[in-house]
Amino acid sequence: MHQIRLRSFIAALPLLAAAAAASGQEAEPGWAKGRPKTDTAMKMAPVPAYPIPTAADQLPIRKLKLPPGFKVETWASGVLDAREMRQGAKGNIFVSTLFVGNKVYALPEKAVDGKREPKVIIDKTEQATGIEFYKGSLFFATHKKIVRYDDVEDKLDNLGEPTAVLNDKLPGGSDHSWKFLRVHNDRLFYNIGAPCNICDPGEYAKIYSMKLDGSDIETVASGVRNTVGFDFDPKTGDLWFTDNGRDWLSEEIPNDELNHVTQPGKQHFGYPYCHQGNIPDPEFGWGKSCDDFVKPAALLGPHAGSLGLKFYTGKMFPPKYQGAMFIAIHGPWNRTRKYNGVYVARPDGKGGAKVEPFMTGFVENNTYLGRPVDFLVMKDGSLLVSDDHAGAIYRISYGGK
């Protein structure tokens, strides 16, 4: 009963915040810029994360739907605010958090007595979201800095201070400031999102890369409103990324985007001038043409909240999934009708991609039961999916028909 009451209170927070803003009790937050002054829109606000994980026996496993031959099970529960996932060379699974957790966990690859207990290795750190593991080192990014911990799997009981500070001049802030990290060709790639719903972003709204010591920072892609999911095609080396579209144009537009970088450092993907490849912004689009910017490889749905993206490199799944991208659709908050799930995107060989649902069932009675965030391909070819809403990690496997 206590949990039910607590969740009812949390669910009511957006209404309370909207009412306070409407009455002039507090300054309008950045996400609210452009919001129509209608009763329906004024009740909308970002979905707050739960302060406690969903109990293991209440996770929505039995309601999740997959293609024939696939199975989903709970891999770990009690992982509050589970976001990005990376695996160490010695099998440890590192899991980051965002607004509620403020920590990074390490979980064992193998269960102990049927359970995996998350060990907190970084704690009390605001926006503890961006993580990557590479050659024994854990790269860790908040909204303000990027650091590196070396030999991390030998120090899980006490990481100590970072081995190196790679960048302590990130802009910080609250809007779209959390990070996503990948290492590719001995360079660390990271995002700096737009500091607003819609504005002139300046040097924000880009994907950058740097050497692993923090030097030689380069722009990889511009006009990227808010990406927290990207990966490299293992066949071509090309970068693909999800991007969250601007809010408040309407409930049905613009779509989130799946984008394909073919000329690193030379391409602009539209923000804030053009959305979903064909909608000029009503404020910043004057004098601009959508034809001047890179078109999306695919559209991912209106206000989809597209997050993690991972190329499937395992062998367990059928051939049509090998080399495909798995995309986490977290789900909209500024749209009356909710939807989300895990989607799969297959490159079409022409720069675009075909997208279709893969795992659904996270929404019941227009309420989220879970919200997928990120993926990890395991050594056996199974796929882990993190869920920050329920505080859980699921395992998808394939056993044939």
Higher pLDDT: 3 or 90? It is 90
Exposure pattern of 74-83 as b/e (b: 16+ CB <10 Å)? bbbbbbbbbb
Has residue 2 got a pLDDT over 50? no
| Residue 121 CB neighbours (<10 A) | 21
Has residue 338 got a pLDDT over 80? yes
* Residue 387 C-alpha from the chain's centroid: 10
Q: What is the mean pLDDT of residues 130-141?
A: 98
Identify whether the C-beta of residue 306 lies closer than 8 Å to the C-beta of residue 300.
Answer: yes
Has residue 302 got a pLDDT over 70? yes
Q: What is the largest CA-CA distance in the chain?
A: 64
pLDDT score of 269: 98
Domains of the chain and CATH, by start = 46-398 (2.120.10.30)
pTM of the model: 0.92
Q: What is the mean pLDDT of residues 129-149?
A: 98
pLDDT, one tens digit per residue, over 76-121 is 999 999 999 999 999 999 999 999 999 999 999 999 888 899 999 9
pLDDT score of 26: 58
Has residue 322 got a pLDDT over 60? yes
**For the residues of 260-304, what is the DSSP string, one character each?**
EESSTTT-B--TTTEETTTEE-TTT-TT--GGGSPPPSEEEEET-
Length of the chain, in residues: 401
On average, the pLDDT of the chain sits at 92
pLDDT, one tens digit per residue, over 16-32 is 444 444 444 457 788 88
Structure tokens at 23: 């009455």
Percentage with pLDDT > 70 across the chain: 93
Has residue 396 got a pLDDT over 60? yes
pLDDT score of 51: 86
Q: What is the mean pLDDT of residues 342-354?
A: 94
50 phi and psi angles, rounded to 5 deg: -70, 145
